């Protein structure tokens, strides 16, 4: 049986001694909102990009889109697509703060804290990427509901205005009614 994408990523992270966080849909699922996701999104320190790409390439993953801070890879047979989000070391350390260890497909791995997952979602919404907006907006609403987070709280407003913008915050409040 061939290794899964999660197994490969975990193996590479261990071999490189390079921490990573699972973000995206799998992180959302880890906080109680079950939604379908096929690809695997991980966050790494951008300084480790060359090593990760070399190791992933040796495992059959091929880079098909390099957007600078966001890389997309096609998988080898029987693996899921993989996306890498790159951040600087300081940002990685901040996003790793309070990370939660979870089991995803039989692999122990880490996802950002709920607060930092909101930060990542606000950041993506702030970029106004057309195909991403609806999914990330709905993730925020669902995560708030599943985890009893008051979107009207000062903390959420501050995070949204710092990592997103006031317009996003106003949309969230309007949607909540």
- pLDDT at residue 134, as a whole number: 79
Question: pLDDT class for 1, splitting at 50, 70, 90?
Answer: very low
Mean pLDDT of the chain: 92
Structural domain total, the chain: 2
CATH number of residue 61's parent domain: 3.30.460.40
Say yes or no: 17 and 91 in one domain: yes
Cβ neighbours for 9, distance < 8 A, ≥ 6 positions apart: 20, 40, 42, 82
Domain stop point among 57, 83, 112: 112
Residues 121 and 101 in one domain: no
Domain co-membership, 158 together with 104: no
- Give the global pTM: 0.92
Q: What pLDDT, on the 0 to 100 scale, is given for residue 47?
A: 96
Pick the last residue of a domain from 73, 93, 112. 112
* Single residue among 112, 129, 148 that ends a domain in this structure: 112
Residue 19: name the closest of 111, 82, 122 by CA: 111
The number of C-alpha atoms within 13 Å of 90 and in the hemisphere containing its C-beta is 0
Q: Say yes or no: 70 and 138 in one domain.
A: no
pLDDT in tens, 120-165: 999 989 887 666 667 889 999 999 999 999 999 999 999 999 999 9
Domain that holds residue 143: 113-177
Express each pLDDT in 87-97 by its tens digit: 999 999 999 99
Neighbours of 9 (CB within 10 A): 26
CA distance 93 to 70: 18
């Amino acid at each position: 049986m061939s290794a899964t994408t999660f197994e490969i990523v975990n193996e590479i992270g261990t071999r490189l001694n390079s921490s990573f966080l699972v973000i995206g849909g799998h992180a959302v699922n880890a906080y109680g909102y079950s939604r379908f996701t096929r690809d695997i999104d991980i966050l790494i320190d951008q300084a480790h990009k060359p090593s990760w790409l070399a190791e992933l390439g040796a495992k059959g993953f091929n880079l098909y889109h390099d957007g600078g801070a966001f890389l997309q890879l096609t998988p080898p047979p029987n693996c899921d697509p993989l996306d890498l989000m790159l951040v600087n070391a300081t940002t990685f350390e901040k996003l790793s703060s309070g990370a939660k260890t979870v089991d995803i497909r039989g692999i122990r791995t880490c996802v950002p804290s709920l607060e930092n997952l909101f930060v990542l979602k606000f950041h993506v919404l702030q970029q106004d990427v057309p195909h991403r907006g609806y999914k990330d907006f709905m993730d925020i609403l669902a995560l708030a509901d599943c985890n009893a987070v008051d979107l009207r709280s000062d903390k959420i407003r501050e995070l949204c205005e710092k990592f997103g913008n006031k317009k996003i915050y106003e949309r969230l409040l309007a949607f909540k009614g």
